[in-house]
Amino acid sequence: MITGHIIDSMEQETEQDWVQRARQGEPAAIAELFRRYWRAARAAAYGVTGDFALAEDAASDAFYAAIEGLPDLRDTQRFGPWLRTIVIRTARRQRAKTSKENGAELRPGLMEKLYRPEPVWNGRNLWP
């Protein structure tokens, strides 16, 4: 069980402290960074993909890439913006990959033809 004292000391540590400890591979530090940034990362990914499941995948992949890339982070005070950049780039790749897999790269004008509503008879005339 975590006591109040431990929780208080966790809250007093700076982001920079957590990043330094995560760089050293400390699981608690990695978990704390995840706890602090998961919702924002998922929201940023959702803003790019528009799909909740795809956003979760992108945010998860981005977190993994960020933790693996921590040695490359020059300014540990900039972890949040750095992570956000990774999340957005990852989400864009996920969206593009999914679009290609779903055949969304169709010739111009084809989508309008596919989704044009059929005329409907309302008893007096046809209307789209």
pLDDT digits (tens, 9 = 90+) for 86-114: 999 999 999 988 877 666 554 455 445 44
- At 42, the pLDDT band (50, 70, 90 cuts) reads very high
State how many domains the chain has: 1
* Beta carbons of 88 and 44 less than 8 angstroms apart: yes
Which pLDDT value is given to residue 126?
A: 47
What is the value of pTM for the model shown? Answer: 0.69
CATH number, domain at 95?
1.10.1740.10
What does the pLDDT average to over 7-21?
A: 76
Instruction: Say how far apart CA 73 and CA 85 lie, in whole Å.
Output: 12
Residue 81 belongs to domain spanning: 4-127
Where are the strands (E) in 10-105, listed by range? none
Q: Which two tokens stand for residue 91?
A: 């989400």
